[in-house]
Amino acid sequence: DTAVSQTPKYLVTQMGNDKSIKCEQNLGHDTMYWYKQDSKKFLKIMFSYNNKELIINETVPNRFSPKSPDKAHLNLHINSLELGDSAVYFCASCSRGRAGRDTQYFGPGTRLTVL
């Protein structure tokens, strides 16, 4: 069984469109993340939710809006897509307990291409 899954795997769209990426984890974790990996493979955190509450928001344009309907899901909606949004977006999850010692587990990624 897939631990952290993302849909879609590939997303090709035109500038100015609005799109969503979905993430689901079946690990029973209470904390989920979105990361962006750029063309140079640099990986940077965007958002984190704990028990449906936003706890990390890293200077991301407000065109990006995460939504967590429940602990197992964290979706990312992007409005007015721009060329610079082209990247691979990774979802991850973790258990917040044990003073932050737990491992983050990553999904397979969603490759977003904005034309």
Partner 1 sequence: AQSVAQPEDQVNVAEGNPLTVKCTYSVSGNPYLFWYVQYPNRGLQFLLKYITGDNLVKGSYGFEAEFNKSQTSFHLKKPSALVSDSALYFCAVRDENTGFQKLVFGTGTRLLVSP
Please give the residue ranges that form the binding site for partner 1 (CB under 8 A): 4, 31, 40-45, 48, 50, 55-56, 90, 92, 94, 96, 99-109
The residue assigned the tokens 């979706």 is 75
CB of 38 to partner 1, least distance (A): 11
CB of 60 to partner 1, least distance (A): 14
Between 14 and 100, CB nearer to partner 1: 100
Rounded Cα distance, 86 and 72, in Å = 26
Rounded Cα distance, 18 and 93, in Å = 25
CB of 80 to partner 1, least distance (A): 27
Between 12 and 43, CB nearer to partner 1: 43
CB of 35 to partner 1, least distance (A): 8
Between 14 and 39, CB nearer to partner 1: 39
Between 86 and 108, CB nearer to partner 1: 108
